[in-house]
Each structure stands twice: as structure tokens, then as C-alpha cells.
Amino acid sequence: MPVTDVSHDLDTRTLTLIAEFAAPVERIWQVYADPRQLEKVWGPPSYPATFVEHDLTPGGWMKYYMTSPEGEKFAGCWKITAVDEPRSFTFQDWFADEDFNPNLDMPGATNVFTFTEHEGGTRATYVGTYETAEGLRKVLEMGMIEGASAAIRQIDDLVAS
């Protein structure tokens, strides 16, 4: 199981997940840089993702939807704000409406994904900082830790194939 630590802090409004992978940093970067690979790991296994826009450059947008087992679609979008390939990228993250416009009635976050060499593989640190403590509390109640952990676990199988 690649997720080695999960923590959240309502005072700083952060949710942090740390994972370790038996693959080099460049290989883990490719999971996020290639929309077809990202579709295989973004979202829990029972909610596969489809990326309709994927621009991993500063100012670029990533737009996607996840499909539930019942066929219901849930959209999301990212606005990329910084990229340091292959070490990190930063983005604004929102739930979205069916046209991929940010849903500002739902919690939004600034995310920093960082990849560093660690014991012959990669340590990935995922930090989300929510706009409000209530927003963080809401996503925690929605199962964000369980969903994100399940999604991250899929990366092992992808990089091993």
C-alpha cells in the first residue's frame, strides 16, 4: 500500500497524504503528465475518470468527470498555477458543474503535489489547503481521505504494468 501517512489540520486547513512508490520520480510524473494514465488513477476504482482537457502547464486547465457505478457523472476542474517538471505542480482544484465551471458552493483547494527520490523510488507528498476549515471538514465528511487513498493505491499497479 503506497499511502504511508495521512494527516489533516483544521487550523491550517490542510489535508496531507504521503505515498511511496517503487518507481523513479520521472515515471510517477508521467502518470500526471499523460491524461490516459491519469484517468486510470484519478478517483477511486469504482469511479473512473475521463479527462476532456489536460494542459499541465502554468495557466492550463485540467477538466474531467468521474462516473459512478450507476452511471452518474461528477465533474471537477484544476487550474494549473506552477509546474517544476518532474518534481512538483500546483493547482487550484474545484468541484465543477456539467460544463466544467468551478462550483463555488463546494469546497475548493490549492493543491501542491511534490515528487522526491526516496530509497530507490519516489515519495509523493500531496497537500491540499482548503479555503476554509469548514470546507476541509466537509470534504473529510464526504470521504476524501478514503477516496484519495484508494485512488493513489492504483498508481502501484499502473507503474508496474
Q: What average pLDDT does the segment 98-118 reach?
A: 97
| Mean model confidence pLDDT for the chain | 95
Q: What average pLDDT does the segment 117-136 reach?
A: 96
Q: What is residue 161's predicted lDDT score, i.e. its pLDDT?
A: 82
Looking up cell 474531467, which residue turns up? Answer: 64
**pLDDT-based confidence at residue 4 (cuts at 50, 70, 90):** very high
Q: What average pLDDT does the segment 107-115 reach?
A: 97
Using CA atoms, how far apart are residues 56 and 76, in angstroms rounded to an integer? 15
CA nearest to 8, candidates 155, 154, 146, 156: 146
Q: What is residue 160's predicted lDDT score, i.e. its pLDDT?
A: 84
Q: What average pLDDT does the segment 129-143 reach?
A: 96
**Fold exhibited by the domain 3-160:** Alpha-D-Glucose-1,6-Bisphosphate; Chain A, domain 4 (3.30.530)
Query: Torsions phi, psi of 42, nearest 5?
Result: -85, 115
Using CA atoms, how far apart are residues 54 and 140, in angstroms rounded to an integer? 27
**pLDDT-based confidence at residue 2 (cuts at 50, 70, 90):** confident
Q: What is residue 1's predicted lDDT score, i.e. its pLDDT?
A: 47
**More confident: 44 or 154:** 154
146 grid coordinates: 478514503
Q: What is residue 66's predicted lDDT score, i.e. its pLDDT?
A: 95
CA nearest to 44, candidates 115, 145, 131: 145
- pLDDT tens-digit series, residues 69-106: 999 999 999 999 999 999 999 999 999 999 999 999 99
Q: What is residue 43's predicted lDDT score, i.e. its pLDDT?
A: 86
For the chain, domain boundaries? 3-160
148 has pLDDT over 50: yes
